[in-house]
Amino acid sequence: MVKSLILTGFGINCEIEMGAAYKNAGAEVTIIHFNEIINGKYDLQDYDILNFPGGFSFGDDIASGKVMANKIKYKKMANGKTFIREINDFVANGKYIMGVCNGFQILTQLGLLPDLQGNQEPEVALLHNDSQKYEDRWVYCKVNSVNQSPFLKGIDLLPVPVRHGEGKLVFKNDDVKEKIIANNQIALQYADAEGNITEEYPLNPNGSVMSIAGLTDTTGQIFGLMPHPEAFLSFYNHPDWAKMKRNGKELERGETGQVIFDNIVKELKVRKVKS
């Protein structure tokens, strides 16, 4: 059985939806407060995938994800280690991490994404949306066909909701930008309904450079994105489902956000069989 660990607490609020996505995909789901792993009640290494859901950890004080990232980096666990050290061991053992919205912000603050140098220094940032307001709308995301992460296998264009105030991705410098492009670490980009990548608002809801909606690390094991695939697990979650159904167009499971969770659980099941 694939074991998915989902962290919550301190203002994270999308853990139930994320848990439902993994259960639908056939994984065993454990949702815990962050403090429960810090105090030693759970062991990260017992799981196959670690998840940072969306929400507003610590009320987005200082910068979205910054306070949570600092707790992960510096707070000592019951075993005397920091949680970031446990995460490093987790990834070194070939396991996976996913962060959605606030979770993506946490991963960038930790330097786990894009982690070009392998030293976990922040190389990108997620800033306030160009609109200077909280964006709650549906968008289309085009998948980078040359990104090899198993999260994205077989996906071309995905409609998904966004709900964030700080989602504008920018690069530390041009060197970081060039390396991310060269490594094919761009995972998703905002697009129109035909799959044409665009920086036009509101199709690009936040003004992200190159319309980037998600990134992977250099290994493809760590995946972060601003949109919420866990909020689109069924055709009936789509705001236009009734109109689409009347017109004879129902979206299949593989055309919803559920496909991302199906993909990674399938990959982990195959790995378990091989091992």
Considering the candidates 164, 228, 238, 267, report the single residue annotated as catalytic. 228
Give the structural domain span for 19: 3-274
Considering the entire predicted model, what is its pTM? 0.97
CB 251 within 8 A of CB 158: no
Tell me if residue 267 is catalytic: no
d(CA 210, CA 203): 13
pLDDT value at 217 more than 80: yes
Tell me if residue 194 is catalytic: no
Considering the candidates 101, 123, 135, 164, report the single residue annotated as catalytic. 101
* CA angle at 192 for the pair 188 and 196, rounded to the nearest 5°: 70
| CATH code of residue 89 | 3.40.50.880
Structure confidence by residue, pLDDT tens digits, 161-210? 999 999 999 999 999 999 999 999 999 999 999 999 999 999 999 999 99
Considering the candidates 17, 166, 230, 267, report the single residue annotated as catalytic. 230
d(CA 33, CA 45): 17
pLDDT (average), residues 139-156: 97
> Total structural domains in the chain?
1
Structure confidence by residue, pLDDT tens digits, 87-107? 999 999 999 999 999 999 999
